């Protein structure tokens, strides 16, 4: 695969939506140079979220996590670009906002691990799985960004 078309799944969690941080988050990914190829707002079911977080099923916080994630709408997105998965994680900060540096999304906008406002895929493999769980093929858009030749 061409490195420039690596894709990551990013979701603004219900607290990020309720607190009005959607625009700030999108702005950071746009400003970085990543290309938005899919976006939708939806209320995710517990069943859907259980599939998304299946690897954490045995964790003591799993039930609360599903309750929190299904407590309101989320904004699901797919961002594309060179190193989108790894760089996306760097932009998010650490899982626990207390360990996230200022300048990262979690470092700048939230306090508690149970309300950490944003999800980002942790590997190219999980990104592929998550994108196919959250988006149908025809919900992802193919287009050429006019910024492309100024970024690469």
Query: Nearest 5°: phi and psi at 37?
Result: -115, -5
Active site residue 119: yes
Cβ distance to ligand DAT smaller for residue 56 or 147: 56
Which of 116, 117, 127, 131 lies at the binding interface for ligand DAT (CB under 6 A)? 116
List residues near Mg ion by CB under 5 A: 122
- Half-sphere exposure for 98 (CA within 13 Å, toward CB): 3
Number of helices (H), then strands (E), belonging to the chain: the values are 8, 4
User: Which is the catalytic residue, given 119, 121, 131, 135?
Assistant: 119
Inter-residue contact 121 to 92 (CB < 8 Å) = no
- What is the closest distance, in whole angstroms, from the C-beta atom of residue 133 to ligand DAT in the complex? 14
The end-to-end CA distance of the chain, in Å, is 16
Cβ distance to ligand DAT smaller for residue 103 or 114: 114
Tell me the number of residues near ligand DAT by CB under 6 A.
Answer: 9
């Amino acid at each position: 695969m061409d490195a420039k078309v690596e894709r990551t799944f990013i979701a603004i969690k219900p607290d990020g939506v309720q607190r009005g941080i959607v625009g700030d988050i999108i702005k950071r990914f746009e400003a970085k140079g990543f290309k938005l190829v899919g976006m939708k707002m939806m209320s995710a079911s517990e069943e859907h979220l259980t599939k998304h977080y299946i690897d954490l099923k045995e964790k003591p916080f799993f039930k609360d996590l599903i309750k929190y994630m299904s407590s309101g709408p989320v904004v699901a997105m797919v961002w594309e670009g060179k190193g989108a998965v790894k760089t996306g994680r760097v932009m998010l900060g650490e899982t626990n906002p207390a360990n996230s540096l200022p300048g990262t999304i979690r470092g700048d906008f939230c306090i508690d691990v149970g309300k950490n406002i944003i999800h980002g895929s942790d590997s190219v493999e999980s990104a592929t799985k998550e994108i196919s769980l959250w988006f149908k093929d025809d919900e992802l858009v193919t287009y050429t960004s006019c910024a492309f030749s100024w970024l690469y």
